[in-house]
Structure 1
C-alpha cells in the first residue's frame, strides 16, 4: 500500500508542477522519477542507472521513428501537400456535405501533420469553403478541429501514439496500432462531426461576418502544388509497409517463413518504413529566396523538425525513465491487484490520461506519461496480450483528448483562428472533445469485448 501512496504522490507532483507551476513536462517527469525512486526505497547506487537506462531504452526503440515522422510532416506542411489532400477530398465529396468534407480533410492531414499546424494550414481553406457554401463558421471550425484531433491522438506516426506504443512494447507491431487506431479515430471523428452539426445551429463566431481570403489565393501562396500521389505517398507508403510487416510477423506466418517474410518484416519495421517515406518526400522540398538550393531548403526543414521533435523526445525519454523506476519499485503488482478488484480494466488508462490531459493540457504528455506509468502493470491488469496493449494505447488516446480547454494550445489555435469567443469555444470545441473522448473509450470497451 505504501508504494501505491508513493505513486499517487508522484502523479500529483507531475500534474501540479505542469499545470499550476508551469514546469516543463520533461523536468516534471524526471523529478517524479527521482521522487518515486527515493520514497520507494530503491538502493541509492541503482537510482541513476535505472533512470538513465529507462531514458535511453525508450528512445532507442522509438526516438528515430518520432524524428523521421516529424521531418516528413514538416516537408508535407511546407510543400502544400495538405492543400492537395484537401483538394482531392473536395473533388471526391463535392459541396453536398461540407461538415463531413472538413472533418475528413482534418482526419487525413493530421496523420503526418500536428493538429495545431494542420488547423493553421487549413484555416484559410475552411474559411473560403464556409463563405462559398454560406454555412456556419462554428460548425466548419469544429468539424475541422475534431477531424484533426481524432488521428492526432490515435494514429501513428503522430508522435504521441508512437511514444505510447513504444512504452507499451508495440514498436514492432505498429501496423496493428495503426489499423485499430484508424478505426477508433474514425468513430471519434464522426462523434465530433455530429457535435459540429449540433453547434452549427446554435452558436456564432466573428468569422461569420468576415470577408475571407479566396481558396485560389491560398493555393497561390504555395506556388506549384504536389500531385495527389505525391502528397499522399510519403505517409501512405510507410503505413502500408508497416501493416504488411506486422502481418508478416503474425505467429501463423501468413507469408511463410522464407525470404518473403524476411523482406516484408524488414521493410515493415517502422524505422525502415518511415525512412522510405522520407525519401519519397524529398522531391517535395521547395526552395525559396532564403534557401535557393534543394540541399539548403531540406536542411532548414530538418532543422525545424528537430526543434519540433526535441521536446517530444525529451518528454518521451523522461516518461521512459519514470516507467523504469516504477518497474523497479514493483508498484505494478500492488496497484494491479487493487484495481483488479474494482473491475475497471481499460477504463483505468482512460481515467489517468483524461486527468493528466485536463490538468496540464498536452495530449502528448498525457499519452507518454500514462503509457509509461501503466507499462509495468499490464500483466496485473490483464492487458499484457498484444491486443490488450493495443487497446490500452487506444484507451489512453481517448483519455488524452478529454478535454481540450484553456490550458491546451490547440484550444487557442481553434479559438483565435475561427474568432470564437472563449465562452462559445467552451460550448462548441471543448464540449466536442469531451464527446469525442467518451465516444472513444466506449468504442475501445466494445472492441475489447470481441478482441480480448
Structure 2
C-alpha cells in the first residue's frame, strides 16, 4: 500500500503540472497534503511535517545556493565566463575544438547553474560554429554533457547540495568524488557520443539552429574583460577551498593527527557556506572593484541573481515537504523493511528510484529530493558511503530528459531540432551520462 500511495502521488503531481499547468511549487504542496492525509499522518501533525520539510531543506542549502548564484552572476556580468570560454577555445585550436568546449563548459558549469550556463555559452557556440562552418549541435553536445554533469554531481549546484544535506554527507567529499566520476562521464557522453550521434541521426548535424529567442546578447570585447587567470581563479575559488579542506581532512584521518586549531580553521574555511561567502567577497573585488565598477552596479548584479532563483528555492522547499511526508508517513521505513536482507546495493537502489521519478516528474531536483525520502531510512542499517549515495541519486535524476523537462525544449528550440532529433541527441546523451555515472560510482565503491 505505501508504494501504491507514492505512485498515486507521483501520478497526481504529473497531472497537476502537465495537464492543469499548475506551478511546480503549488503542485508539490498540494500533493504533500494529499499524501499526508492518505498515509494517515495525524491532522495536527500535517502542517508541522510540511513546514519542517521545507525549513529543513532550505535551511541547509539556501545560503550556499544564494551565494553561488551571486558568484556566477558576477563572473558572467563582468565577462569572466566569456574570457574563460574564448581563451580555451583559441588555445586548443580548430582540430581540438570539442575538447576546448568540454573544458570551458565544465569550468563555467561549476560556477553557474545549468540554465544560466546554457544561455551564456550558446551564443559563443553558435558564433564559433558559423566561423568554422560546422553544425552548432556538433559543439552543443560536448557543451551540454559538461553542463549536465556539473549540474548533477558537483556542489554548489542545487541537486547534489540538497541531497548531501539530506543524507548527511560531507559536501567537500561529494565534490571530490563527483569530479572523479564527472570526468569519464563527460568524455563518454560528450566527444565520444558525438561520433555515434552523427551516424545515428545525421540530419541533426545539418541544422543551423535559432537563438533569436534569447534576445539581444551582451557582447564583450576581450580587452574589456578580466584576465583569463583571475577569471578562472574566481570561478573555481569555492571548489578550490572545499577540495583543499577535504583532502587535508582525509590526510589527517589517515595519518591519525588530533584535531587542533589549525585543522579547525581549515575545516571552517572549507565549509561550503564559508567557502561560498569568501569566494563572493573575492569576486566582488576581482570582477568588480578591481575593474573600477561601482559597488552599486555590483550589488545590482547580486540582487538580480537572487531574484532569478526565488522560484527555484520554493520548488526545492516543496520537494523537501514531499520528502518529509514520505518519511513521517512511514513509506521510507516500509521500503527499508522490504529490502532488509536484500543484496541490492543502496547505491543502485537510489539510482533506480531517482531515475524512475526523473522520467515521471521531469524535474531532476524534485526527483532527487523525493528519492532521499525513500532511501534515508535504509541508510540506517547500511554502511554505504554517503557521498557515493548522494552521487548515485544525482546520477539517477539526470537520466532520460524528455518532454516533461524544460531543458528538453530549450535544447530543441535553440538548436532547431525536430522531436526525433532531440530524443536522439539530448535524451540519449542524458541517459548515457546517467548509466555511465552509476557504473563508475559502483566501481569507485569497490575501492573506497
Alpha carbons 1:241, 1:268 under 8 Å: kept: yes
Q: Which residue of 2 aligns with 1:429?
A: 426
Distance change >3 Å, CA 252–CA 416, structure 1 → 2: same
Whether the 8 Å contact between 1:323 and 1:376 is mirrored in structure 2 is: no
In structure 2, relative to structure 1, the CA distance for the partners of 1:190 and 1:40 (3 Å cut) is: same
Picking from 387, 406, 410, the partner of 1:409 is 406
Cα offset, 1:110, TM superposition: 0.9
Q: Give yes or no for contact 2:209–2:413 (8 Å, CA) kept in 1.
A: no
2:157 is matched with which residue?
158
Instruction: Report what 2:272 is aligned to.
Output: 270
Match of 1:26 in 2: 25
Query: Would the aligned equivalents of 2:87 and 2:228 in 1 still touch at CA under 8 Å?
Result: yes
Is the CA contact (8 Å cut-off) linking 2:67 and 2:276 kept in structure 1?
yes
Contact (CA 8 Å) 2:155, 2:171: kept in 1 or not? yes
- Judge which range, 237-246 or 159-168, deviates more: 237-246
Write out per-residue CA displacement over residues 344-393 of structure 1, whole angstroms, 9 at most, x where no aligned residue.
Answer: 5322222222223223322222233323443333224x3x54x2x21122
In the aligned structure 1, how far is the partner of 2:231 from the partner of 2:10? 41
Whole-Å separation in 2 of the counterparts to 1:84 and 1:225:
6
Distance 2:122 2:321 in 1: 38
For the Cα contact (< 8 Å) 1:142–1:196, is it kept in 2? yes
How far is 1:183 from its partner? Answer: 1.8
Distance 1:231 1:5, change over 3 A: same
Give the total of aligned pairs.
435
Q: CA contact under 8 A between 2:401 and 2:408: conserved in structure 1?
A: yes
Aligned partners of 2:68 and 2:276 also within 8 Å? yes
DSSP-derived class of the 2:253 partner: coil
Q: Which one is further off, 234-243 or 368-377?
A: 368-377
Counterpart residue number, 2:184: 187
Q: Is the 8 A contact 1:350 1:398 kept in 2?
A: yes
Distance 1:176 1:68, change over 3 A: same
- CA pair 375-30 structure 1, distance change in 2 beyond 3 A: farther
- Work out whether 1:337 is the aligned partner of 2:337: yes
Structure 1 unaligned runs (5+)?
A: none
Which moves more between the two structures, 15-24 or 438-447? 15-24
Is the contact made by 1:138 and 1:196 (CA closer than 8 Å) also made in structure 2?
Answer: no
Q: Note the 1:7-18 alignment, pairs <5 A.
A: 7-18=6-17
Q: What RMSD, in angstroms, separates the aligned Cα atoms of the two structures?
A: 2.8
Within 5 A, what are the aligned runs for 1:160-309? 160-170=159-169, 173-193=170-190, 194-201=192-199, 202-205=202-205, 207-208=207-208, 220=220, 224-249=224-249, 252=253, 256-283=258-285, 294-309=294-309
Is 1:36 the counterpart of 2:30? The answer is no
- State the 1:138 CA deviation: 2.6
CA distance in 2 between partners of 1:136 and 1:167 (Å): 42
| Alpha-carbon distance between aligned partners in 2 of 1:64 and 1:209, rounded to the nearest angstrom | 37
Q: Secondary structure at the match of 1:65?
A: helix
Alignment partner, residue 391 of structure 1 = 388
- How far has the Cα of 1:284 moved from its partner? 5.2
Secondary structure of 2:346's counterpart equals coil
Once the two structures are TM-superposed, the CA of residue 409 in structure 1 deviates from its matched residue by 2.2
Q: Which residue among 376, 385, 397 is the counterpart of 1:400?
A: 397
What is the rounded CA distance, in whole Å, between the counterparts of 1:329 and 1:364 in structure 2? 21
Corresponding position of 1:145: 144
User: How many angstroms does 1:89 deviate by?
Assistant: 2.2
> How much has 1:293 moved relative to structure 2?
6.8
Q: Distance in 2 between matches of 1:74 and 1:400?
A: 26
CA displacement, residues 31-69 of structure 1 (integer Å, 9 cap, x when unaligned): 333233222222222222222122212222221111111
Structure 1 pair 310–264 and aligned structure 2 pair: CA distance change class (3 A): same
Contact 1:61 1:166 in 2 (8 A): yes
TM-score by length of 2: 0.88
Cα 1:423–1:83 shift into 2, 3 Å: same
Q: Which moved more, 1:406-415 or 1:429-438?
A: 406-415
Corresponding residue for residue 323 of structure 1: 323
Which residue of structure 1 aligns with residue 129 of structure 2? 130
Counterpart for residue 376 of structure 1: 377
**Local SS of the residue matching 2:203:** coil
How far 1:218 moved relative to its partner?
Answer: 7.9
**Runs of 5+ unmatched residues, structure 2:** none
Higher mean C-alpha displacement, 201-210 vs 239-248: 201-210
CA contact (8 A) 1:99 1:197 kept: no
Within 1, Cα distance between the matches of 2:86 and 2:443? 35
The Cα of 1:249 is off from its aligned counterpart by 4.8
Rounded Cα–Cα distance in structure 1 between residues aligned with 2:209 and 2:294: 42
Residue aligned with 2:63, SS: helix
Check conservation: 2:354, 2:368, Cα contact below 8 A: yes
Q: Distance in 2 between matches of 1:279 and 1:298?
A: 11
What's the CA shift for 1:225?
0.9
Alignment partners' CA distance in 2, 1:306 and 1:349: 31
CA distance 1:241–1:437, shift in 2 (3 Å): same
